[in-house]
Amino acid sequence: MMWRLMALALAFLCGGVTAYGETGSSFAAFLDGLRADAQRQGIAPATFAEAFAGVTPDPNVLGARQHAPEYGKPFGPYIASLASPSRIGVGLRKSAQWAAILRAIEQKYGVDQNILVSIWGVESSFGESPSHWDVFRSIATLAAAHFQHPLFRNELLAALQILQRRQLPRSAFLGSYAGAMGQPQFLPSSYLKYAVDFDGDGTADIWNSVPDVLASIANYLRQSGWQPKLPWGFEVTVPQSFDYRSSRGTFAQWTMRGLRRADGTALPAVGEAILFFPSGAAGPAFLVTDNFIVLKKFNNSDAYALAVGTLADRLQGLPTFGTRWPANDFQPSRGTRIALQHKLAALGYKIADFDGHFDFDLRDAVRDLQRRYGMIPDGYPGRIFLERIGVPAF
């Protein structure tokens, strides 16, 4: 199954490149179809013409896509690289530099300013590493190759809507090879939904205006359900006698079950959280809240959310992890994750996503099987579990 999926993905990519290389006709046909849809959505022919004047498919986009950072990195080094000492240092300087703006944004949107600075740092090194791919060209290349269809095609229509508003010149549309724009790395649809003009010049400029960048990230999180004053989560210690079948509960229940914060302080009095073992019971344990789930709406990855939360904690001056990450930490690759999702679905578990993104329902399904197999039910799909369930780990 896994190899079939990978071969299919490769066929999409190669098929796209070959077709353009030969005649360019499939790209022209793609644009014709898009033009009709755009017109139905109220995009003026002039806007469409301006967006795609001289635009050809970019083979480098598909190459970059294939070399994109994979899942499967061990959590410890991944988090250490995102929440590096140098990034913490720059982040503290930026927090001081923009203190008044950050206070105003936190007051308006209710999102912890350390989280905002952390995402800014992780997404674009605080705007110091801008990306220069042309958004229309990049996204059109991916959409014409049917990559993650219809996601990129819809993003192209969203980019046209932005251009039609005339607040941004065509030349402003710069982003990553995958169309993520500006310092917060918003896809065009996110820009339409969440970008805000906080400095009052009339344009939501997420490329050049730091107040606009930070307020847009805050607006994204708030509209995605961020709860003010709720921590994203924290590391905990688990007692020897712990019953690993528990994965969810209120903080009061977690206190009763013997969990403590790793820094020795008490758990919050109100609220609820999910117990998360990113690398299994042998590694660090975390209680994560609904705000952790909101961070995953920004980028659907547990490792990403944990790294953003960790960097925010360091900016706030909180200590590093109390438990070491396992030296031989195994994290399944995207192919393995997708294969596991299909396997769990075949076993009757309800699976929300077949793209390799894990949610906590999936980890509960893993727990359920681990219990049946006589393993510690920690929700971590490590090598032994994958072997037992018959999913190749690579």
Site residues for Ca ion per CB under 5 A: 197, 199, 201, 203, 205, 209, 212
Q: How far is the CB of 315 from Ca ion (least distance, A)?
A: 25
SS (H, E, C) the chain: CHHHHHHHHHHHHHHHHHHHHHCCHHHHHHHHHHHHHHHHCCCCHHHHHHHHCCCCCCHHHHHHHHCCCCCCCCHHHHHHHHCCHHHHHHHHHHHHHCHHHHHHHHHHHCCCHHHHHHHHHHHHCCCCCCCCEEHHHHHHHHHHCCCCCCHHHHHHHHHHHHHHCCCCCHHHCEECCCCCECCCCECHHHHHHHCCCCCCCCCCCCCCCHHHHHHHHHHHHHHCCCCCCCCCEEEEECCCCCCCCCCEEEHHHHHHCCCEECCCCCCCCCCEEEEECCCCCCCCEEEECHHHHHHHHHCCCHHHHHHHHHHHHHHCCCCCCCCCCCCCCCCCCHHHHHHHHHHHHHCCCCCCCCCCCCCHHHHHHHHHHHHHCCCCCCCCCCHHHHHHHCCCCC
Which position's Cβ is nearest Ca ion?
A: 197
CB closer to Ca ion out of 172 and 293: 172
Q: Is the dihedral of CA 117, 118, 121, 124 positive or negative?
A: negative
- In the complex, what is the shortest distance from the CB of residue 214 to Ca ion, in angstroms, rounded to a whole number? 11
How many CB atoms are closer than 10 A to CB 14? 12
Shortest Cβ distance from residue 190 to Ca ion (Å)? Answer: 17
Residue number with CB closer to Ca ion (198 or 234): 198
To Ca ion, the closest distance from the beta carbon of 130 in angstroms equals 17
Q: Least distance to Ca ion from the beta carbon of 219, Å? A: 13
Task: Between 134 and 205, name the residue whose CB sits nearer to Ca ion.
Answer: 205
**In terms of CB distance, is 112 or 212 closer to Ca ion?**
212
Q: Which is nearer to Ca ion, 197 or 368 (CB)?
A: 197
- Contact of 148 with 154, CB cutoff 8 Å: no
* Shortest reach from residue 203's CB to Ca ion, in Å: 5
Nearest distance, CB of residue 43 and Ca ion, angstroms = 24
Measured from the CB atom, is 182 or 231 closer to Ca ion? Answer: 182
Which CB sits closer to Ca ion, 199 or 361? Answer: 199
Q: Which is nearer to Ca ion, 100 or 266 (CB)?
A: 100
Query: CB of 200: closest distance to Ca ion in angstroms?
Result: 7
Beta carbon nearer to Ca ion, 155 or 205: 205
Residue 100: CB minimum distance to Ca ion, A: 16
